[in-house]
């Protein structure tokens, strides 16, 4: 198909009034998150990413490296504070509003379109929730939206050089969250089916492939050197979480996640797919459908699709303004009013970052990823209790005195505990916690050499009873604290101070950590089903190492 002349960019048509509108929404977004950042503790996943930021690498067992680098920048600037790890998610949400504004102007939208698209994003419970969490998903939405904007520029301006920017965006998006592959798979196929397929013939497309591959190569090398842990992680994720994803729940969630702007995004989707006068943009309609299909086929969680909706807000605002005639002001006002009402209603079941545990609590009203109903949302249950764990462990550690603090290890059942201990113990130089969960395997010592161990137990997915187990592992055991918080997912967590590990336990630990580390070494050492002492098999140890316990609705890798 022959190339066509580029359409004139609308960028020059952005006047001071348009910039003021965008500035208003950017400031509103920042103020919302900066004034509510302390309403909840950090999510359990934030502590994992903080821990990774203290061990920078080109990859980790469950996620690419980008989130760790962002965490390092945040804590270097602001210190170990809740604000530090919530600063960049809020900023990236504000940047999304700028991209939305630029996209609206690129297709010829005026002030009503700009306001509608911006309100749709600003008042979305899903994005308010996401931008309150230090997780890759917040940045993932940015990359999906930026990619959509660049694709819009590519087809409108007929400028194949934009392939370079698309490739760079893909590369950095891949280093943030692997689900960007869904987006670009849908884009590649949709472009092939569209009238813009001739863009593949450009030399810049081949150059873009090389650039994108170069950016992601360090992570691919890391994956290869460690026996592709992402594949092991995805297999574990499918077995423990994705198996609970129901098609009906997935479809329902697509309708509800941005229900405040349903008329805007769904109306835009229908026009993009079926209205011939707007067929120059039907590529985006095809992309949406393919993304949903790919996620369904891959048993993806509903929120994986959240990144595709902002560009639909853009087209929805534009089409509303364009086709509403003389009633467009009234229609737009009605839509915005409905958005506020919908946001208010949503506070009763997904009010992060505004609401409280007490206001949301309803018996059996919330289905978690384990397929069981609970009294509060899963994310909220993962946003309390960690500070208390971290501070109590810190106090126990300091209480050992100067002569013993360097003779103490800390054992944590999973990364949430271990990351919290690191985060709140940083000022007292607390030692690297030991855990067999996720990337903590890489950082664990090969043997136990110290006389003291602070042991943090959890009943979550664990049927081992510490009061009977620990006296078999140590010569002296004392229960130092119990976490009592009914909203905490791990209410009842116990913290023990143990002294003088037995020779039998030291040998067991050395064997166990060696087997777990061998999973990620070349060549891989297969672990057979061999019964060991203390009621745990080597095979279950290995599986426990691979589990990342992604118990957040918006935090899965």
List Cβ neighbours of 52 (8 Å cut-off, separation of 6 or more).
60, 63, 65, 67, 68, 71, 439
User: Do residues 454 and 396 touch, judged by C-beta distance below 8 A?
Assistant: yes
List beta partners, residue 434: 411
pLDDT-derived band at 547 (thresholds 50, 70, 90) equals very low
User: Do residues 97 and 21 touch, judged by C-beta distance below 8 A?
Assistant: no
Report the share of the chain in percent with pLDDT over 70.
Answer: 90
User: Do residues 158 and 6 touch, judged by C-beta distance below 8 A?
Assistant: yes
When pLDDT is averaged across residues 331-360 and rounded to a whole number, the result is 88
The radius of gyration of the chain from alpha carbons, rounded to an integer in Å, stands at 25
Cα–Cα dist 302/183, whole Å: 14
Q: What's the pLDDT at 180?
A: 96
Domain-ending residue, one of 303, 338, 358: 358
Contacts 24+ apart (CB under 8 A), 1-7: 1/195, 1/197, 1/198, 2/198, 3/158, 3/198, 4/158, 5/158, 6/156, 6/157, 6/158, 6/159, 7/156, 7/157, 7/158
* Residue 2 placed within a domain: no
Lowest mean pLDDT among 80-89, 228-237, 335-344: 228-237
pLDDT-derived band at 349 (thresholds 50, 70, 90) equals confident
* Residue 213 placed within a domain: no
Q: What's the pLDDT at 521?
A: 84
Residue 1 has pLDDT above 50, yes or no: no
Q: What's the pLDDT at 240?
A: 66
Q: Whose CA is closest to 182, among 295, 325, 338, 58?
A: 295
List beta partners, residue 499: 452, 476
Residue 526 has pLDDT above 70, yes or no: no
Residues 423 and 542 in one domain: yes
pLDDT-derived band at 542 (thresholds 50, 70, 90) equals very low
3-state SS, one letter per residue, for 327-353: HHHHHHHHHHHHHHHHHHHHCCCCCCC
Q: Whose CA is closest to 549, among 467, 456, 439, 465?
A: 439
User: Do residues 86 and 132 touch, judged by C-beta distance below 8 A?
Assistant: yes
List beta partners, residue 374: 366
Residues 405 and 451 in one domain: yes
For 487, which DSSP code?
T
**Count of domains observed in the chain:** 2
Q: Whose CA is closest to 496, among 518, 468, 525, 520?
A: 468
Residues 335 and 453 in one domain: no
* Residue 320 placed within a domain: yes
When pLDDT is averaged across residues 63-92 and rounded to a whole number, the result is 97
Q: What's the pLDDT at 12?
A: 55
Residue carrying the six token digits 């060696």: 514
**DSSP output for 401-438:** -TTTGGGEEEEESSHHHHHHHHHHHGGGTPPPPB-SST
Q: What's the pLDDT at 248?
A: 83
pLDDT-derived band at 555 (thresholds 50, 70, 90) equals very low
* Residue 1 placed within a domain: no
Residue 70 has pLDDT above 60, yes or no: yes
Lowest mean pLDDT among 113-122, 455-464, 494-503: 455-464
Residues 253 and 122 in one domain: yes
Per-chain mean pLDDT for the chain: 89
> 16 is in which domain, residue-wise?
11-150+224-358
User: Do residues 63 and 548 touch, judged by C-beta distance below 8 A?
Assistant: no
Residues 447 and 342 in one domain: no
* Residue 191 placed within a domain: no
Residue 8 has pLDDT above 70, yes or no: no
pLDDT-derived band at 517 (thresholds 50, 70, 90) equals very high
pLDDT-derived band at 530 (thresholds 50, 70, 90) equals very low
Residues 520 and 392 in one domain: yes
pLDDT-derived band at 5 (thresholds 50, 70, 90) equals low
Residues 31 and 142 in one domain: yes
DSSP E strand boundaries for 419-490: 452-456, 474-482
Cα–Cα dist 432/397, whole Å: 12
pLDDT-derived band at 467 (thresholds 50, 70, 90) equals confident
Q: What's the pLDDT at 546?
A: 37
Helix axes 82-106, 44-53, angle to 10 degrees: 100
Lowest mean pLDDT among 5-14, 35-44, 170-179, 229-238: 5-14
3-state secondary structure (DSSP) of residue 303: helix
Cα–Cα dist 169/125, whole Å: 26
* Residue 199 placed within a domain: no
Residue 146 has pLDDT above 80, yes or no: yes
Phi and psi dihedrals of 319, rounded to 5?
-70, -35
Residues 338 and 422 in one domain: no
3-state secondary structure (DSSP) of residue 324: coil
Diameter over CA atoms, the chain: 83
* Residue 183 placed within a domain: no
When pLDDT is averaged across residues 282-306 and rounded to a whole number, the result is 92
pTM score of the predicted model: 0.90
Per-residue pLDDT tens for 362-403?
877 787 877 788 888 888 999 999 999 999 999 999 999 998
Cα–Cα dist 235/239, whole Å: 6
* Residue 445 placed within a domain: yes
Phi and psi dihedrals of 288, rounded to 5?
-60, -50
Beta strand pairing call for 373-374 and 408-412: unpaired
Per-residue pLDDT tens for 174-220?
999 999 999 999 999 999 999 999 999 999 999 999 999 999 999 99
Per-residue pLDDT tens for 410-436?
999 999 999 999 999 999 999 999 999
């Amino acid at each position: 198909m022959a190339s066509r002349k580029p359409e004139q960019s609308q960028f020059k048509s952005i006047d001071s009034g348009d910039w003021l509108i965008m500035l208003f929404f950017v400031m509103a977004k920042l103020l919302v998150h900066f004034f509510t950042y302390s309403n909840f503790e950090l999510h359990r996943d934030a502590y994992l990413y903080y821990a990774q930021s203290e061990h920078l690498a080109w990859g980790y067992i469950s996620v690419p490296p980008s989130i760790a680098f962002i965490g390092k920048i945040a804590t270097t600037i602001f210190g170990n504070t809740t604000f530090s790890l919530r600063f960049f998610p809020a900023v990236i949400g504000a940047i999304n509003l700028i991209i939305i504004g630029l996209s609206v102007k690129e297709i010829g939208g005026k002030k009503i379109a700009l306001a509608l698209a911006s309100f749709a994003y600003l008042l979305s419970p899903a994005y308010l929730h996401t931008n309150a969490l230090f997780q890759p998903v917040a940045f993932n939405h940015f990359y999906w939206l930026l990619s959509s904007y660049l694709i819009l520029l590519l087809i409108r301006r007929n400028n194949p050089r934009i392939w370079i920017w698309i490739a760079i965006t893909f590369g950095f998006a891949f280093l943030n969250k692997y689900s960007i592959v869904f987006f670009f798979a849908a884009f590649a196929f949709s472009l092939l089916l569209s009238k813009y397929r001739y863009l593949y013939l450009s030399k810049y497309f081949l150059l873009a492939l090389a650039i994108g591959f170069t950016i992601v190569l360090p992570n691919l090398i890391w994956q290869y050197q460690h026996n592709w842990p992402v594949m092991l992680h995805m297999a574990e994720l499918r077995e423990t979480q994705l198996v609970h994803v129901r098609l009906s729940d997935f479809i329902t969630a697509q309708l509800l996640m941005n229900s405040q702007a349903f008329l805007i995004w769904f109306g835009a989707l229908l026009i993009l797919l079926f209205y011939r006068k707007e067929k120059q943009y039907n590529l985006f309609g095809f992309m949406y459908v393919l993304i949903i299909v790919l996620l369904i086929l891959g048993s993806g969680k509903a929120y994986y699709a959240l990144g595709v909706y902002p560009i639909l807000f853009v087209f929805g605002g534009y089409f509303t303004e364009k086709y509403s005639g003389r009633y467009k002001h009234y229609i737009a006002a009605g839509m915005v009013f409905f958005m506020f009402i919908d946001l208010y209603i949503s506070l009763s079941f997904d009010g992060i970052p505004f609401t409280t545990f007490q206001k949301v609590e309803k018996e059996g009203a919330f289905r978690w990823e384990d397929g069981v109903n609970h009294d509060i949302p899963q994310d909220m249950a993962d946003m309390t209790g960690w500070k208390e764990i971290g501070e109590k462990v810190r106090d126990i550690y300091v209480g050992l005195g100067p002569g013993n603090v360097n003779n103490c290890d800390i054992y944590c059942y999973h990364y949430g505990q271990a990351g919290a201990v690191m985060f709140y113990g940083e000022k007292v130089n607390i030692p690297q916690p030991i855990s067999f969960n996720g990337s903590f395997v890489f950082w664990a010592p090969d043997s136990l050499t110290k006389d003291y161990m602070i042991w943090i137990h959890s009943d979550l997915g664990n049927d081992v009873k510490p009061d009977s187990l620990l006296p078999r592992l140590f010569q002296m055991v004392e229960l130092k604290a119990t976490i009592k918080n009914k909203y905490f997912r791990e209410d009842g967590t116990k913290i023990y101070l143990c002294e003088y590990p037995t020779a039998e336990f030291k040998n067991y630990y050395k064997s166990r950590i060696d087997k777990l580390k061998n999973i990620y070494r070349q060549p891989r050492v297969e672990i057979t089903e061999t019964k060991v002492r203390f009621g745990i098999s080597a095979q279950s140890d290995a599986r426990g190492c691979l589990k990342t316990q992604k118990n957040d609705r918006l935090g899965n890798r």
